Amino acid sequence: MQKRTLGKSGLEVSALGLGCMRMSFNQEMIALIRKAVELGVTFFDTAEVYGPFTNEELVGEALAPFKGQVVIATKFGFKHDPVSGPSPTVGLDSRPEQIRRVAEASLRRLRVEAIDLFYQHRVDPNVPIEDVAGTVGDLIREGKVKHFGLSEASAQTIRRAHAVQPVAAVQSEYSLWWRAPEEAVLPTCEELGIGFVPYSPLGKGFLTGAIDESTTFDPSDLRSHIPRFAPEVRKTNLALVDLIRAIGQRKGATPAQIALAWLLAQKPWIVPIPGVRSPERLQENLGAVNVELSPEDLQEINDALARIPIVGDRYPQYLQEMTGR
């Protein structure tokens, strides 16, 4: 497995990480995470809110035998209501006392002495980002956190936070069908020496080629509410999948591998974190590091992207309002 360094932080990780959000706590997922380590993955992504809480416990148990060999990223920034069932998320909360509470709880669940990378999950408009960065900086000096990260933050917010506590990585959605970070966030990361970690690098499964016009989603599946997956626009959006499938056929690669290889080709400090729940998908995704896209291939993709319209928002409105602050 190739390695990459997240900006100027010195944090070295595998070129592809593993997003663990949708994994359930069971022996199959523990085995899958350990299989990823065996295949060279050293970068694992979780969050307090995933589950909530149980995903961190899963990752902690699965990676306990590999202390010192892997990097675990987790996140703070939400508050929970312990009265209403299994601690549902009830809003944003990045107050310093909440950040400290989450850090202590995450340390226990992850079974580590220090959190390798601690992201603010979403920017809290009620807490100055300088206070957030300062609190994480204090945790770093106390030895409880190693690196500070932001998720779905605007370029301006990144700059303000970085001025208080260096930001090691920014995590945001980025893929062939969501390229908004190219406008301001990626240039800011390059200027400041910050790594970039794309989540949903396969467009929530759309870019794998496994979804077609007849695919249906359970109402509990977020994609059933996402405008880009709506039946009336899906045929138009599938033109992008047709493009990467054709390139993949020339390269002996799957659409998913082409989509991941495209991300890896953008910058040497970009580390995608596709999520999988099967060994077969894990093997397929990791094969992307061996797919070389020539300058001509990349130009062909860019030219096609300029012609292919992507229809629909990436999130329903109620979630869209929580991004890019």
Structural tokens at position 302? 């860019």
Residue 50 designated active-site: yes
**Rounded CA gap, 196 and 320, in Å?**
20
The residues, ordered by sequence, that sit 6+ positions from 268 with a Cβ below 8 Å of its Cβ are 4
Q: Which of 313, 95, 110, 155 is nearest to 321 (CA)?
A: 313
Q: Which of 193, 187, 151, 149 is nearest to 167 (CA)?
A: 149
**Cα angle for residues 169, 174, 175 (degrees, 5° grid):** 140
Name the phi and psi angles at 90, rounded to 5.
-125, 10
Per the document, the length of the chain is 325
**Cα angle for residues 169, 192, 297 (degrees, 5° grid):** 75
Q: Is 252 exposed, middle or buried (0-12, 13-18, 19+ CB in 10 A)?
A: exposed
3-state secondary structure of 157: helix
Choosing from 50, 119, 174, 199, which is the catalytic residue? 50
Q: Is 33 exposed, middle or buried (0-12, 13-18, 19+ CB in 10 A)?
A: buried
Contact 257, 285 (CB under 8 A): yes
Considering only CA atoms, give the Rg of the chain. 19
Q: Which residue carries 């910058």 as its tokens?
A: 267
Structural tokens at position 120? 């603010």
Contact 289, 1 (CB under 8 A): yes
Q: Which residues are catalytic?
A: 50
